[in-house]
Amino acid sequence: MSLVLLANRAPLRATADGWAPAIGGLATALLPVLNAQGGAWVAMREPDDEAPLRQAYPKDDPRFTVHRVVLDAAAFEGYYQGMANRVLWPLAHYLIEHTEPDRAFYEAYKTANRQFAEAALAAAPEGAHFWVHDYHLMLVPALLRQARPDARIGHFWHVPWPAPEVLRILPSARSLVRGMLGADLVGFHTAGYAENFREAARDLLGAVIEGERVRWENRTVCVEAHPIGIDVAEFEALGAAAETARLASVVREEAGVERLIVGVDRLDYTKGLLSRLAAFERFLQEHPEWHRRVTLFQVATPSRTGIPAYDQLKREVDETVGRINGQYAEGTWVPVRYRYRAYGAEELAALYRAADVALITPLRDGMNLVAHEFVATDDDGVLILSELTGAADYLTGAVLVNPYDTDGLIHALHTALTMPEEERRQRLAMMKAAVRRLEVHAWAERFLESLDERPRPSGDGEAAALPALAIPPPA
């Protein structure tokens, strides 16, 4: 069985030694699948990117081909910077104040989704399965279904799926749900997200819910929870490496404190950085006994620069860190060590090993794999985790908090910093078992096995050109 994957980002990166697999993300999970089964990966090529349009990989013994969809500056701005980043991303995370439902964004999104679908159809041999990923490509399953009625089509959604009353804010909501219902199997991280999707199909389109299935236009779409994880073996090996232990000692020595709290996030308004910093500032105010004894080491990876909301967030975080350090720093003690840059896996592993507490408090998150990475790497730390993440459904043993509750965050910090060693190790052992169960390669296998179990749709299997009006306008 050949597999055609569709995702916004390509799985390869250019290095000084040639092309190599991308680090982390979907590439980690799905490149082994493509290597084993063969097929294609359809991805975006950004303006000014010179990556090849067709790229067989590996070069010496090709197992699959990357097909890149060319987007000019205007298309990239409307489809990606607009609809994906300024409409769907904030809405999925319940941050309505950041949502900008511009009709021009949706028109660019429709065009880009058609380009992806056409590229996938051109790349797909007879009998290929299609696996579409995330909020960038919601219309693609229906387009593929129109051209290949008998194909097996899966869609995995990597971020939260909001409640129907939030989703219906979008003028294009009905069309987007129709697009996803072109799939045979739609996967989410949690049962709650899956239920929200089924209810959206019922409330917005009049579809019929039958358990985990949605009946729509004489078809049955299975909607299931398929929680994703990380490459556990990689992070466990990093955590056990002597070099990681050495680097962790360096981090501890430079911080010069009894307890080190670590936060690792993209600089994104969904990650709750300002709320976290405000809680840490209040913690220092209310617990002066921790002055000179604890430091927050916060990594913020640059993200979506050039979008006004993100540029404003950076300014506010910079100002908040400066205010805290200006008020509380004493001698060589720096309360907040803030790093605005990307960290590699080895550096992150050292931070995780150095940490006594991981502080992961997004305002909303589909899963949050940083939590998984910390658990797999560390050996005696405490995880403080937002209850509004998908990971909170699975990581029993974390200290769960509401990221909007400053008093609760302060209490959780004090609890974590004073937790007895035996309790820390018991909690971490429970979480390690959960992280191993959710391992990323097993996730991919489970999803594809479930897709294979779907009844084959009716149809003659003949590929057809996409009709002129493949996507109906919003109702």
Radius of gyration for the alpha carbons in the chain, expressed in angstroms and rounded: 23
Distances from the Cα of 201 to the Cα of 37, 181, 209, 216, 323, angstroms: 33, 8, 8, 8, 47
Q: What is the mean pLDDT of residues 285-295?
A: 98
Lowest mean pLDDT across 17-21, 225-229, 288-292, 420-424: 17-21
Q: What is the mean pLDDT of residues 183-197?
A: 98
CA–CA dist 179, 122 (Å, integer): 20
Assigned superfamily of 3-229+440-453? Glycogen Phosphorylase B; (3.40.50.2000)
What does the block give as tokens for 323? 């205010």
pLDDT of residue 156: 98
pLDDT of residue 457: 59
pLDDT of residue 41: 96
| Residues paired with residue 467 on neighbouring β-strands, in sequence order | none
Contacts of 447 (CB under 8 A, 6+ apart): 131, 154, 156, 185, 187, 226
pLDDT per residue over 437-450, tens digit each? 999 999 999 999 99
- State the average pLDDT for the chain: 93
pLDDT of residue 306: 83
CA–CA dist 243, 253 (Å, integer): 15
DSSP 94: T
pLDDT per residue over 398-428, tens digit each? 999 999 999 999 999 999 999 999 999 999 9
| Residue % of the chain over a pLDDT of 90 | 85
Lowest mean pLDDT across 23-37, 170-184, 274-288: 23-37
| Residue 30 confidence class, pLDDT cut points 50, 70, 90 | confident
> Are 372 and 396 contacting, i.e. CB atoms less than 8 angstroms apart?
no
CA–CA dist 386, 153 (Å, integer): 33
What does the block give as tokens for 394? 């699975």
Distances from the Cα of 274 to the Cα of 255, 314, 361, angstroms: 22, 10, 10
| Residue 295 confidence class, pLDDT cut points 50, 70, 90 | very high
Do the domains spanning 3-229+440-453 and 232-436 agree at the CATH topology level? yes
Instruction: Please identify, in words, the CATH class of the domain defined by 232-436.
Output: alpha beta
| Residue % of the chain over a pLDDT of 70 | 96
φ, ψ for residue 261, nearest 5 deg:
-100, 135
Indicate whether 470 pLDDT > 60: no
> Are 239 and 353 contacting, i.e. CB atoms less than 8 angstroms apart?
yes
Tally the residues of the chain: 475
| Residue 17 confidence class, pLDDT cut points 50, 70, 90 | confident
pLDDT per residue over 93-117, tens digit each? 999 999 999 999 999 999 999 999 9
The DSSP bridge pattern shows strands 219-225 and 185-188 to be parallel
Q: Give the neighbor-by-neighbor strand order of the sheet with 54-57.
A: 54-57, 64-70, 39-45, 3-6, 129-133, 153-156, 185-188, 219-225, 213-216, 208-210
Grouping H, G, I as helix, E, B as strand and the rest as coil, residue 343 is coil
pLDDT of residue 472: 40
Indicate whether 433 pLDDT > 50: yes
pLDDT per residue over 108-165, tens digit each? 999 999 999 999 999 998 889 999 999 999 999 999 999 999 999 999 999 999 999 9
Closest by CA to 396, choosing from 363, 364, 429, is: 429
Q: Give the neighbor-by-neighbor strand order of the sheet with 259-266.
A: 336-339, 294-301, 259-266, 357-360, 382-386, 399-401
φ, ψ for residue 398, nearest 5 deg:
-75, 155
pLDDT of residue 1: 66
pLDDT per residue over 354-370, tens digit each? 999 999 999 999 999 99
Indicate whether 392 pLDDT > 90: yes
Distances from the Cα of 200 to the Cα of 173, 205, 220, 290, 367, angstroms: 9, 8, 15, 48, 21
> Are 365 and 270 contacting, i.e. CB atoms less than 8 angstroms apart?
yes
| Residue 461 confidence class, pLDDT cut points 50, 70, 90 | very low
Indicate whether 331 pLDDT > 80: yes
> Are 386 and 358 contacting, i.e. CB atoms less than 8 angstroms apart?
no
Closest by CA to 271, choosing from 302, 247, 236, is: 302
Closest by CA to 336, choosing from 380, 372, 304, 300, is: 300
CA–CA dist 277, 263 (Å, integer): 10
Q: Which residue has the tokens 């990971």?
A: 391
Grouping H, G, I as helix, E, B as strand and the rest as coil, residue 84 is helix
Q: Where are the chain's structural domains?
A: 3-229+440-453, 232-436
